[in-house]
Amino acid sequence: MKHQPTENNTEKNRANANQNFGLKEEEFDEMLQAMQKGDEDLFEKIFLAQFEETIAYLMRRYNADNAMAYDATMDAMLKFRRRLLEGKITYYNMRFLFTQMAGQFLTDAFKKKNKLSEIQEDNRVEDEYEEIDDVILDYLDIAWKGLGEKCSKLLENFYYKKITLKELAETLGKSDAALRKQKQRCLETLRSYFLKHYKH
């Protein structure tokens, strides 16, 4: 049986929107533009709304418990956000990509769990699975509060919101080079504040 490529664009568009959490391509572009300006409302609304569906999928497909499926979905949402901001995800089957990403986090969590029980049995300690401790992040929060507003905004915008130095420099009316130096100083200040609190 032979078939021709579909002529029914409306049907195709509907299928595409379904693959992308109901977003049309232009709506996806709007969401991305808003995110790049620091407005993540639409992103959060869309992804939080299908959180439960993803958890249910993971529990069914991987026989995972609630907590593990929840964590994997949360990890996937954070990574998906970062990938979107980095421009590494385009409009195309986001639903599948997201569930695959969550599945990958869950598989990694299973592997880690199994590895840890092996380690406990062998009384061996491996650094491979060491993560950033909450205590370190607590002290980083304290150090962060000591930063001035300029530094904290600059570091957050550059490292977390993924706004380029060029864009930030334009907004602030500074040169790229000047902002790069400022960023370096801010990083040094942050570390010095961190060490001051962490070591005492």
Question: Which chain residues interact with another protein by CB under 8 A?
Answer: 1-6, 15-16, 19, 44, 48-49, 51-52, 55-56, 60-61, 66-67, 70-71, 74, 77-78, 81-83, 88-90, 92-93, 96-97, 100-101, 103-104, 127, 130, 132, 134, 136-137, 140-141, 144, 155-156, 159-160, 184, 187-188, 190-191, 194-195, 198-199
Which residue matches tokens 């958890």? 55
CB-nearer residue toward another protein: 135 or 173: 135
Report d(CA 72, CA 79) in Å as an integer.
10
What's the closest the beta carbon of residue 162 comes to another protein, in angstroms? Answer: 10
Report d(CA 141, CA 135) in Å as an integer.
10
Long-range contacts of 186-193 (CB under 8 A, 24+ apart): 186/147, 186/150, 186/151, 186/154, 186/155, 187/155, 189/147, 189/151, 190/140, 190/143, 190/144, 190/147, 190/151, 190/155, 191/143, 193/142, 193/143, 193/146, 193/147
CB-nearer residue toward another protein: 145 or 173: 145
CB-nearer residue toward another protein: 81 or 179: 81
**What token pair was written down for 183?**
């960023």
CB-nearer residue toward another protein: 121 or 149: 149
CB-nearer residue toward another protein: 26 or 121: 26
- Please list, in sequence order, all residues whose beta carbon lies within 8 angstroms of the beta carbon of residue 126, skipping any fewer than 6 positions away: 119
What's the closest the beta carbon of residue 72 comes to another protein, in angstroms? Answer: 11
CB-nearer residue toward another protein: 36 or 104: 104
What's the closest the beta carbon of residue 165 comes to another protein, in angstroms? Answer: 12
**What token pair was written down for 123?**
């009384």
Report d(CA 157, CA 168) in Å as an integer.
8
